[in-house]
Structure 1
Amino acid sequence: MHTPVTIIGAGLGGLTLARVLHVHDVSVTVYEAEPSPSARAQGGLLDIHDYNGQLALEAAGLTDEFRAIVLEGRQALRVVDEDGTVLLDQADDGTGGRPEVQRGDLRQVLLDSLPADTVRWGHKVGRTRGLGDGRHEVSFADGSTVVTRLLVGADGAWSRVRPLLSSATPEYTGKSVVETYLYDAGSRHPGAAKTVGGGMLIAPSPGKEIFAHREKDDTLHAYVGLSRPRDWFAAVDFTDAAEATARIAREFDGWAPELTALITDSDVAPVLRSLYALPAGHRWERLPGVTLLGDAAHLSAPNGEGANLAMLDGAELGTAIAAHPEDIERALGEYERAMFPRSAESATDDMIGLDSADNTAQGLIDLVTENGL
């Protein structure tokens, strides 16, 4: 099969690119390894920023659809100390530039905006190779292949397209998070629900933190961050939910029980998410017919910008292709020249790291105050 534009990966970045190309009547096909849109949960809340993510959705013509899925009140921010003392309590007054949406809802908005046959599900990439003259072949696990004049790797941290351009691979950041969920929080977990409040809660400490969101359907979704080597987590048996929960909770001995309840009262087994990053400032030499976006291009430690940057990458790449349909290399060059410095700046403009002595409630408050968040 020969296609003009082939996108690998149906995440937010790849789908934004597909939507912008569709708006400009550019034929595009997206190949996704997952067997269906509902194959797995799509993560928690995303704050979509007015200076990148919202601009991408505007370029995609989906601002109204985006506004329809915003969860009101979720921009509220509460910072607490280890003993549960609330040191900052910002209400959501509706004027902030980072409204919150469920990742899955946003992905569905993008999927619904595309013709039904745009995304080909169940296509796991086995290999990619250059054929010369800007053409590339993608081989899938089911034995099928596709040859394309423009290949875009939007396939995340462990991209199968990236090796065409770069030998860089993600490295462990020294930090991991453990995810937990508390359902029907107001009635079943009132202490934790009261502590989290209506939006986001952060309880930081050097080397560890608890971060929680109130999602839709009265769900509390917590991310328990620990700065530990991979061997430390490997010694925790996450197949035994009770043992894993108890082991992670021990790292927070002495913390307020309404905070540790976000660990111990989880309604699901704790899920380990190790954090990886590409080298800061990752870039490559221009190679005809192929490029990357999102985490495939510039994976960094979580700082609230990943999804936003992926969507902006997709929107800007799509706009450039539409502007130069007869000169794809010019479009790719323009896109990469803007994307490289933007992603490098974002990677260095990180929140206070877990290992930092400033990773305290007061340190976070100072950061919020200084940056007007």
Structure 2
Amino acid sequence: MDTIAIVGAGPGGLTCARILQRHGIPVTVYDRDAGRDARDQGGTLDLHADNGQIALREAGLLDEFFARCRLEGQEMRGLDIGGTLLMHHVPDADERFKPEIDRGELRDLLLDSLEPGTVRWGHAVTSVGAIDADLVIGADGASSRVRRAVSAATPQYTGVSFLEAWFHDVEKQHADVAELVGQGGAHAADGVRAVFAQRNGGDHIRVYIIQRVPVDWIAAAGLSTDDTAGLRAHLLDEFAEWSPRMRKLVSDNDGRYVDRPIFALPVPHTWEHNPRVTLLGDAAHLMPPLGVGVNLAMLDASDLALALVNAPSLAEGVRRYEEILFPRSIETQKLLDGRAADLLEPVTA
């Protein structure tokens, strides 16, 4: 029997594995983490009705997703730098277009749906040749090692960088921040810098501090990510024209900041057909984070799994999948190319 290996136990890789198993096709997932609880999985995700939810339906998990997601997380606020509300979307009670779910919650949903032993933890795959399988699927993200087997492309810095900050026990400890953000997301910008805050489950809020800066801006300022006090003072200077209430979003966080410079693959990104290797998600089409990443990864995963299920051979399944993948990813890449800086544009009423 043909063997299939997926590298990467993120939403895309796990969705692909789940759909394959639903159709009786065995698969092994390799992940470098020591286990499912080895590290924090990050913040919240919105899964869209026209892509991410389609994949969950094929995985047989859509009802359980709706039992776990936060419909109220679809609220969106646009603020000016003084904290005045300029735009406010309040979701209807039955609105289901893009509800929020914590990344860890989504991962648990997918992991629990797989057959025991599907994921082999603690396997850091450095090359396709290290895996004994007829088909290797690269679902290993922005710095994909699998990508190297089919493409020489490397992600390039977009000129925009995120600094991630977390707020915990927000209703009691950060009431002003909680009031600003609401139950979903809130965005404010001045053309040079911006913040985007997201409500997460468990009474947490994650804030992305967004700036157009060199990739090494922290070191260039004589700072490091270990120097929380120094970074905080630097940010307060950068956001000096913002109101004191809005500056809390960049300075009152709990714990360290996380540096997340934004990279993207060249546009367009394709590769010559290789019957033994293919890619999905960020490994295939890393783009600026403008609301499509995880959704496209999961739709890729669904399309690939179904192509493999219905094709007469793995090679033909890969070919059929890439005939779907390339036009879609190229169109979206072109749409988002150079648009990371859009996040810095002021909100309009």
Give the TM-score category using the shorter length. over 0.9
**1:344 counterpart = 2:343:** no
Q: Check the 8 A contact 1:153/1:162 in 2, yes or no.
A: yes
Deviations 1:25-81 (A, max 9, x none): 001000000111111111111110000000000011111111111113110011001
Counterpart residue number, 1:359: 345
Q: Which amino acid counterpart does residue 245 of structure 2 have in structure 1?
A: E
Residues 64-143 of structure 1: pairs in structure 2 closer than 5 A:
64-93=63-92, 94-128=94-128, 137-138=129-130
Counterpart residue number, 2:176: 191
**1:177 counterpart = 2:162:** yes
Counterpart residue number, 1:306: 293
3-state SS, counterpart of residue 250 of structure 2? helix
Residues 1-373 of structure 1: pairs in structure 2 closer than 5 A:
4-93=3-92, 94-128=94-128, 137-138=129-130, 146-235=131-220, 236-324=223-311, 326-350=312-336, 353=339, 355=341, 359-362=345-348
The answer for unaligned runs of 5 or more in structure 1 is 129-136, 139-145, 366-373
Change (3 A) 1:213 1:351: farther
For residue 157 of structure 1, report the CA deviation from its aligned partner. 0.9
Change (3 A) 1:197 1:357: closer
3-state SS, counterpart of residue 37 of structure 1? coil
Percent sequence identity is 42
For residue 351 of structure 1, report the CA deviation from its aligned partner. 9.8
More strand by share: 1
In 1: Cα distance, 2:190 partner to 2:338 partner? 10
Deviations 1:70-103 (A, max 9, x none): 1131100110011111101111213251111111
Q: Which amino acid counterpart does residue 318 of structure 2 have in structure 1?
A: L
In 1: Cα distance, 2:68 partner to 2:52 partner? 14
In 2: Cα distance, 1:319 partner to 1:182 partner? 40
Counterpart residue number, 1:131: none
Change (3 A) 1:184 1:318: same
In 2: Cα distance, 1:160 partner to 1:35 partner? 18
For residue 309 of structure 1, report the CA deviation from its aligned partner. 0.5
Change (3 A) 1:125 1:67: same
Deviations 1:109-163 (A, max 9, x none): 00000011000000001233xxxxxxxx32xxxxxxx311111111111111111
In 1: Cα distance, 2:60 partner to 2:282 partner? 23
Q: Check the 8 A contact 1:23/1:60 in 2, yes or no.
A: yes
In 2: Cα distance, 1:234 partner to 1:23 partner? 49
For residue 348 of structure 1, report the CA deviation from its aligned partner. 3.0
Deviations 1:166-187 (A, max 9, x none): 1001111111111111111121
What is the TM-score of this pair, normalised by structure 1?
Answer: 0.89
Q: Check the 8 A contact 2:288/2:340 in 1, yes or no.
A: no
For residue 357 of structure 1, report the CA deviation from its aligned partner. 10
For residue 257 of structure 1, report the CA deviation from its aligned partner. 1.7
For residue 347 of structure 1, report the CA deviation from its aligned partner. 2.3
3-state SS, counterpart of residue 297 of structure 1? helix
In 1: Cα distance, 2:140 partner to 2:290 partner? 20
Change (3 A) 1:160 1:357: closer
Q: Which amino acid counterpart does residue 278 of structure 2 have in structure 1?
A: T
Deviations 1:210-232 (A, max 9, x none): 00011112211111111101132
Q: Check the 8 A contact 1:227/1:354 in 2, yes or no.
A: no
3-state SS, counterpart of residue 235 of structure 2? helix
In 2: Cα distance, 1:13 partner to 1:52 partner? 12
The answer for unaligned runs of 5 or more in structure 2 is none
3-state SS, counterpart of residue 336 of structure 2? coil
In 2: Cα distance, 1:357 partner to 1:195 partner? 18
In 2: Cα distance, 1:201 partner to 1:178 partner? 16
3-state SS, counterpart of residue 331 of structure 1? helix
3-state SS, counterpart of residue 73 of structure 1? helix
Deviations 1:289-334 (A, max 9, x none): 110001110001111110001011111100010112x311211111
**C-alpha RMSD of the superposition:** 1.8
Q: Check the 8 A contact 2:71/2:95 in 1, yes or no.
A: no
Matched positions, count: 346
In 2: Cα distance, 1:227 partner to 1:218 partner? 30
